[in-house]
Structure 1
Amino acid sequence: MLSANIQAGSSTRRYSDYATRSWSHVLPAGKRNALDAIATLAGTHDIVGLQEADPGSWRSGFTNQTHYLAERGGFEYWTHQPNRRVGAVASSANGLLSRLEPIEVTNHALPGRIGGRGVLLSRFGEGNEGLVVAVAHLSLGAQSRHSQLSFIAELLADHPNAVLMGDFNCTSDRPEMSALYRGTSLQPPSCAVHTFPSWRPQKAIDHILVTSNLKAAGMKALPAAFSDHLALSTELHVPDAALRR
């Protein structure tokens, strides 16, 4: 599995780039090469969760980046959840690429002081025992994150074989994360893998959390082209029953 905040294919290699390269967040130039590099990385995985994928606006050359990555990475199944749009200039989405066919995909808007966040939920097995994979991009504010994590906990409470991955904008030991651990069988990660900023990783704010029925091994950070986040990769061991149809 892979989780990647791809920053819509934009390039950020130092903090000053947020100002000096701000044009890359509204213009399409240079993004195709970045997307091709991300597709190469994604293609070595079976299930990929994306954050900040542009679903088709001016800055992406009106390309649905999730669809593009699915085609370039060789994924038969893909879906996306547009969350935030700034006119026709820029838009942002959660996305899922998969070699396994999901039996159901649902989109949920997340609560928060400022709207435009969501969680994308995909099911790969029948009943409550089936594998559920959720992709989310949480808010910067702790109060909003608490509301969002409580909401996600309700969605995943009855699923013993669940994965939650994405850009949480916080470390796994923050107080607001306790709502998730109390309300589900999702486990804190066994070690902190620093993913931000990508050029000098100091913060573990991207996560792949799994329930106690599942086992994640070999968690590691990998470059996602020139995004300001490193991608997070893990090998997931899933009971056969969780994929039964």
Structure 2
Amino acid sequence: MKVTSLANWRNLHQALGPDYLRIASYNIHGGVGRDGATDIRRIARVIDELGCEVVGLQEVGKLFAHTDEAVQLDVLAEETGMRAVAGHTVVHADGAFGNALLTRRPVLAVRRHDFSYLTCEPRGALEVDVDVAGTPVRVIVTHLGLRPRERRFQVERMLRLLHDLPIDLPVVVLGDINEWLPLGRPLRWLHGVLGYAPAQRTFPAWLPLFALDRVWVRPRHTLLAFAAHRTPAARQASDHLPVKAIIVPGPARPGPDVGPLPAAARQ
């Protein structure tokens, strides 16, 4: 399938109706921008630019708090008018840090998974079922670790999770995969099970060199467009550019879109 350009993404975004899902992934770096300032409302403005009704987030700071201090996820929900679903992975006395999801689509179910590895920073996946014009779509938001062995462990957990899903359920896996090598095993395993995920450079935002942020869709043929969101605001707001996709939800099917589990993930 041809991966469309940002211009084509805009054309499709304007032409397609509510039966299509516009979805994004964005590592917001705790709201810390290129200037070193923490400005969560600047992140909200970038999310508004995306024009997506579902946005998976990573590195959301202060998902909740025991004080009157504004919580980042609450601010994002208020500023964007979207419903927030928290998937915190690091919990402190004054709040939490981790994955989240913003959505304009109805939420059908929420599950949270621990992907933490040994003594490394806790990691996880947020699994949310959303309704897209009557079709349930499972969205999995994740942020993998910095060490190769850690990422392999986490992808094995992800693949086991995917293996147990109904074959006719549309699935979107998105997030900051932290895989710097285009042929790294975690990417190859995910490509093998979900189909190839297009790549565009997203990190660092002001001079992108690495395609760390990905969107996989099952079935693969339902992915119509994919692009990194390159605007002046996005280059300033975080150290990652967001990525966005347009999907036409439909039942998954056996065949080239769905591959077997790698041997490591079957153990």
CA positional deviation for 1:107: 0.4
Q: Is the 8 A contact 1:47 1:96 kept in 2?
A: yes
1:22-171 matches, cutoff 5 A: 30-42=38-50, 44-54=51-61, 55-56=63-64, 62-75=69-82, 77-88=83-94, 91-113=96-118, 114-124=120-130, 130-157=136-163, 158-160=165-167, 161-171=170-180
Corresponding residue SS for 1:170: coil
Q: Is the 8 A contact 1:38 1:225 kept in 2?
A: no
Corresponding residue SS for 1:179: helix
Partner of 2:14: none
One-letter amino acid of the structure 2 residue matched with residue 4 of structure 1: Y
Q: Is the 8 A contact 2:41 2:76 kept in 1?
A: no
CA positional deviation for 1:72: 1.3
Partner of 1:174: 184
* Cα 1:225–1:95 shift into 2, 3 Å: farther
Q: Is the 8 A contact 2:40 2:76 kept in 1?
A: no
TM-score by length of 2: 0.72
* Cα 1:178–1:117 shift into 2, 3 Å: same
Task: Note the alpha carbon deviations across 1:180-211, whole angstroms, 9 max, x for none.
Answer: 344x3x12224x20000011000001001111
CA positional deviation for 1:130: 3.9
* Cα 1:231–1:206 shift into 2, 3 Å: same
Task: Note the alpha carbon deviations across 1:85-108, whole angstroms, 9 max, x for none.
Answer: 3553x7412111111112110000
Mind listing any 5+ residue stretches in structure 2 that lack a counterpart? 1-22, 253-267
How many angstroms apart in 1 are the aligned matches of 2:178 and 2:68?
A: 28
* Cα 1:154–1:62 shift into 2, 3 Å: farther
Partner of 2:225: 217
RMSD over aligned Cα atoms: 2.7
* Cα 1:95–1:120 shift into 2, 3 Å: same
One-letter amino acid of the structure 1 residue matched with residue 200 of structure 2: V
Mind listing any 5+ residue stretches in structure 1 that lack a counterpart? 14-20, 25-29
CA positional deviation for 1:159: 4.2
Partner of 2:241: 230
How many angstroms apart in 1 are the aligned matches of 2:126 and 2:148?
A: 21
CA positional deviation for 1:46: 1.0
Task: Note the alpha carbon deviations across 1:202-229, whole angstroms, 9 max, x for none.
Answer: 0001001111252241423332652000
User: Runs of at least 4 residues of structure 1 off by over 6 A?
Assistant: none
CA positional deviation for 1:139: 0.0
Aligned length: 218
Task: Note the alpha carbon deviations across 1:144-179, whole angstroms, 9 max, x for none.
Answer: 111101111111223441111111101553112333
How many angstroms apart in 2 are the aligned matches of 1:86 and 1:10?
A: 19
Task: Note the alpha carbon deviations across 1:128-150, whole angstroms, 9 max, x for none.
Answer: x9421000010001111111011
* Cα 1:61–1:10 shift into 2, 3 Å: farther
* Cα 1:61–1:187 shift into 2, 3 Å: farther
Task: Note the alpha carbon deviations across 1:11-58, whole angstroms, 9 max, x for none.
Answer: 235xxxxxxx4xx5xxxxx5244234234235x211100001111459
Kindly, what percent of the aligned residue pairs are identical?
A: 24
One-letter amino acid of the structure 1 residue matched with residue 188 of structure 2: S
Partner of 1:204: 211
Corresponding residue SS for 1:201: coil
Corresponding residue SS for 1:173: coil
Q: Is the 8 A contact 2:43 2:238 kept in 1?
A: no
One-letter amino acid of the structure 1 residue matched with residue 116 of structure 2: P
